[in-house]
Chains A and B, each alone.
Chain A
Amino acid sequence: MAELQDDEDIGPSELDRTFIFEDEGHTLGSLITYVLESFPETDFCAYSIRHPSENKMYLRLKVKEGNTVEDVFKHGIQELNKMLNHVKKTFKKSISAYEENTSTA
């Protein structure tokens, strides 16, 4: 399988990796990229779907010196988990508040 040009030249390292996710697409890609690229430790983060018939999502993460890709990625997932759980909690609260309002009115 074709790898990114840079991967062939330099090869994956502690600071730069391309992850491959099968059966995933923009749903996961844009969400992870959004969180990862906003970290100060991240040098570069982007995802691509190379070909529509190839059901894979490539996510490249490059981090600044002194960090490892693995740690930054883990941190990103933790933040995402926190964020999604907060969305869930807030939504639940709003729904019950709305139902209470309409039942009393």
Chain B
Amino acid sequence: MNNPIIMNKYSIERTLGNEVKPYNYDEFVKNFKVNIINLSETDMEFDLIGVDVALANSLRRVIISEVPSMAIEKVHIYQNTSYVLDEILAHRLGLIPLKADPRQFKMKEDENSEPNEHDSLVYDMKIKCTKKDLDALAHKQYISFPGMILFLSNILIYINDEQLTFIVYSKHIKWSPLGNQKDIFTEKSVGMINDDILIAKLRPGQEIELKMYAVKGIPKDHAKFQSVCTAWYRMMPNIKLLDDIKGNDALLLQSCFPKGVIGLKSYKGVLVAHVEDCRKENSSRNVFRYKQFDNKILLSKIPDHFIFTIESIGAMEPSSIFFEAINIIIKKVNNALEIALNQTEV
């Protein structure tokens, strides 16, 4: 496991172990480490040290395609006279990220059953662009500030000479509680994550009236159920200077890597390069362009050290997404045992 992956000028050299080491729990416990690098409400970067690619990749796959979240699934359109077609409007609405925490909801068992407070969220939107309001407003504004953006009762109106449009944003979608949801949730905890997602534009006289039903689902079925923007890992890079690099070469070496990777120190008036922070290295392999660095630098990757990044959409904290993923894998593994045992009995 400790054989590094060496990066050459045109190839990657992988020295695989000659024999497979038996997996040993005690050794795994000894080597396994998690370092949290940074953690915010939506982003998280951490190191997984001492694991096999199989585990890192399974985690990534589960986070991307199996951790559930809430999204609008059904739209009842009572009125839509806008230019956006019904089906396109419904699709756009489905893709809007919701703040609702999926752990507080159940998966809908029967697709066609009546929505209830445990498995669904209901949202409403009713908006109309009236000519009268716009005319009055346009006249007034055209005289004072032509071509200006202004707010009127929470609806953004863009005035472009004679063209008047209501812009319908995600903030116009209002949550309507089902059953006892009013006591548990607030508009803030289940509403829209972003207020400024464009849904449609309305001309005078056009209107949209909708009722939306959000359910819990997994991203395998539809990308709108994703709880992460993305999640990925990369192996920890390692740079080794095999020879002293001094003077102008040291400056050149520094310029081959992103800022902060190579540091310079002055010894008796001569600059000497040293490796400062390998983490920032991005495998550009720029050093191989210069002859003077031939056989002086060893670029490699540590195969059991993963830099894992999770970017949450905002409904769940990234650390909770990781726990959800682990729980899903544990469930999967135990389910597999059951299936396998049933197959051996036959």
Chain A interface residues (CB < 8 Å from chain B): 17, 19-22, 24, 26-28, 30-35, 37-40, 69-70, 73-74, 77, 79-88, 90-95, 97-99, 102
Contact = CB atoms under 8 A, between A and B. Distances in A.
A92 B46 CA distance: 12
Contact of A95 (B28, B319, B326): B319
Contact of B23 (A17, A26, A38, A98): A38
B143 interface: no
Interface string B311-346: 000000001001100110110111011011101100
A94 B34 contact: yes
A19 B339 contact: yes
Interface of B: 20-23, 25, 28-29, 32-36, 39, 46, 51-55, 57-58, 61-62, 66, 319, 322-323, 326-327, 329-330, 332-334, 336-337, 339-341, 343-344
A79 B23 CA distance: 9
Contacts of A31: 54-55, 58, 329, 333
Nearest to B33: A90
Contacts of A19: 339-340, 343
Contacts of B333: 28, 31-32, 77, 80-81, 84
B330 A91 contact: no
A83 B32 CA distance: 10
B25 A98 contact: no
The 5 A-B pairs of least Cβ separation, nearest first, read A38-B23, A34-B54, A98-B36, A94-B34, A77-B337
